A and B are shown apart, each in its own frame.
Chain A
């Protein structure tokens, strides 16, 4: 297992520059997720690390071995990587066992016990060994593809949107199985995804990429709670945006005076908080610092619900729209009047002048 270091990597397709001086370090045995919209360059970075794409500049090191620098590139087959793509790319002319053994030396290919062990590692039964790829579901195919990649005990595992082609139910269970297998194998992992849940739940470190650059890199909790800018905050999940006026470590907003995360700010600011920070209670028995709000609409998901509320400050006629995430059984009805308060610290960004976009 080895540490991955990417330093100053630039890459392009033809005349289009895709990556601009990208740096990233993934510590030995940890998992990093690159999160970004499609076309931001995240897959290209993965392909540069894998050796499928040649960088224009910069260096890639796996362990203490430099695998790419200007004018020099180790071919993919000698980088000691495991690679799992969105389609899985199982070889259609081979059985499951044939696929898992593909990368092994000839003498180990027929080792049934090793195949069974690998199948078990990814949560499949040994009886799957003789199936053909087309007889497997999408999630099973991805697990076999992972077993195939892990069979060679790679130093580094690269996952390119590995759950993207699976439907929602399968995605969660496959993700769990893959995460368990990877942590059992103790591999260093680099995951590329556009799904924030996947990035946050899967990784020890999340790197947000936009237009070929990393805008923020850090542990999931930190990146989620203290994003560097509004766009980054929006990539990671639903947002409530307010306008406010900073007073050092606090900010005055239509929802009351709230404590700020990070350094204090003064003057007009945009304030961001997460819907789960908004707590609703009975207006007849309001908690301290509550304001009154009217429920406009409710998106009910069963386990939880996203409630859209309107808050009218006493001093003004302006109506502020707020989202709250509540447990499903507590979901109020549209038109209901509730008391609302904010829990925890909020994030402030310099005011952009533009009216904050209404969260989707």
Chain B
């Protein structure tokens, strides 16, 4: 309980620091920082990108999920993998792939295209899982009550998909608010890129904090919209019996166009990065800095392992607490943990920089601080995976162990840990892979002289040395490729 509260408090710390810093420079200055034409432009850019790309992801995600799960598409299993795989390509690598081939691709259009291609799997994955899990008997009942095929879809299937679609869209929107690499590369300024510019150019944490507060408010707005639209009611299956899976609706003459559309999508989302990386690796005169790459790889793996262990250790007591009967207290802990991690990496990074400068100079530019930032950012991934894992050991089993003479701690060790260990490994792997491709917080917090794969890639591609950037990108893709498989298995995604 105490441990869970501590973890929650640390998670919430960045918000408080940024808020205190923004207000610390005086109210009138803070207002002056916000009410500027520049902020208006950032707001317009951020919101229009978020709305357009989220809508595009929703359409693509639901459409693909429907085709793959409900139409008897040839090779559905393969398509499922191919449509989740773009998540293994970091968005900024995707942007690099496009921009290095077509330098003219900048601005809103390019940003929407690239972020959509990178993030639509976040909608596809939960919706396809929901479609697969739907109980056919509800649809049968609707048909028996006189509804036709399409009205059944509209009145029975769509409402059940709503939580999955909304959940996916929420993730996309939060990713877009946090996105730095793609937008910096495309020279499309949003709050996140502006905060980093402000910090790097002027070391101005005051204005940066004010912008960060606006960004946090946008996150809260997105979370609120999703919460309101989702509504309070859940869909529970009542009664016993086996869940029956739906039969496929044959595509008929739509089969060829559907296959073509999916092929084009996969070509754009996976083919372009693959081609581009291949192109730059094979480019004449491309020299791979072997020792630089090796040290970046070693640094990345070390940091990612530390972050994975820390995030999982921190998530465990929270997950145990959330298993209890829901009270106001547990609900608050849950909300705060998820809220803190919907913060963009730039906000967490900035907050920890300010904290370290003021109160813990020893930690400033240390690997420890960076690992803490990763753990805060990716705590929910660990939390979701560990909660799923703990569901393998329901409370009744612990009670049985207690009745058989085990103390609470012994019961956890003898029953919960053996049953939950695969899920705990999944949690470790998810945080590990997320860390290997984290760019924004790493740029802010990495100790001087330490290059990770992401910052090494970023340094090279920022100086337009595309050939030198390619090996770093390939290494990141390879490290995060197993994520595709894990996500397909886990079927729950978090920001």
The residues of A with any CB-CB pair to B shorter than 8 Å are 50-52, 75-78, 81-83, 85, 87, 89, 91-93, 102-103, 145, 148-149, 152, 158
**Which of these, B396, B404, B418, contacts A87 with CB under 8 Å?**
B396
State whether B404 touches A77 (Cβ < 8 A): yes
- The proximity string for B residues 392-414 relative to A, scoring 1 for CB distances below 8 Å and 0 otherwise, is 10101101111111111000001
State whether A85 touches B402 (Cβ < 8 A): no
Interface centre among B397, B405, B418 (most CB of A within 10 A): B405
Cβ contacts under 8 Å, B419 to chain A: 91-93
State whether B402 touches A91 (Cβ < 8 A): no
B415 within 8 A of A: yes
State whether B400 touches A85 (Cβ < 8 A): yes
Interface centre among B396, B400, B405, B406 (most CB of A within 10 A): B400
Across the A-B interface, the 5 shortest Cβ-Cβ residue pairs = A103-B404, A83-B403, A76-B402, A89-B400, A89-B396
Which residue of the partner chain B has the closest CB to A151?
B404
Which residue of the partner chain B has the closest CB to A165?
B240
Cβ contacts under 8 Å, B407 to chain A: 75, 77
State whether A83 touches B400 (Cβ < 8 A): yes
Cβ contacts under 8 Å, A81 to chain B: 403
- Closest Cβ–Cβ distance, residue B229 to chain A (whole Å): 30
- Closest Cβ–Cβ distance, residue B369 to chain A (whole Å): 39
**Which of these, A51, A85, A152, A158, contacts B404 with CB under 8 Å?**
A152
- Closest Cβ–Cβ distance, residue B423 to chain A (whole Å): 13
Q: With A85-B396, A91-B415, A92-B419 known to touch, is A50 a contact of B403 (CB < 8 Å)?
A: yes
State whether B403 touches A76 (Cβ < 8 A): yes
Number of interface residues of B (CB under 8 A): 18
Cβ contacts under 8 Å, A76 to chain B: 399, 402-403
- Closest Cβ–Cβ distance, residue A157 to chain B (whole Å): 10
Instruction: Pick 14 A–B contacts, CB within 8 A, sort by A.
Output: A50-B403, A75-B408, A76-B399, A76-B402, A78-B405, A89-B397, A91-B400, A91-B415, A102-B404, A103-B403, A103-B406, A148-B400, A149-B404, A152-B404
State whether A148 touches B397 (Cβ < 8 A): no
Which residue of the partner chain B has the closest CB to A93?
B418
- Closest Cβ–Cβ distance, residue B327 to chain A (whole Å): 8
State whether B405 touches A85 (Cβ < 8 A): no
- Closest Cβ–Cβ distance, residue B396 to chain A (whole Å): 4
State whether A75 touches B400 (Cβ < 8 A): no
Cβ contacts under 8 Å, A89 to chain B: 394, 396-397, 399-400
A92 and B397 CA atoms in complex are apart in Å by: 9
- Closest Cβ–Cβ distance, residue A122 to chain B (whole Å): 16
Which residue of the partner chain A has the closest CB to B415?
A91
- Closest Cβ–Cβ distance, residue B312 to chain A (whole Å): 20
A87 and B398 CA atoms in complex are apart in Å by: 13
Residues facing A in B84-102 (CB within 8 A) are none
State whether B402 touches A75 (Cβ < 8 A): yes
State whether A83 touches B399 (Cβ < 8 A): yes
Cβ contacts under 8 Å, B415 to chain A: 91, 93
Cβ contacts under 8 Å, B394 to chain A: 89
Q: With A91-B415, A93-B418, A93-B419 known to touch, is A77 a contact of B402 (CB < 8 Å)?
A: yes
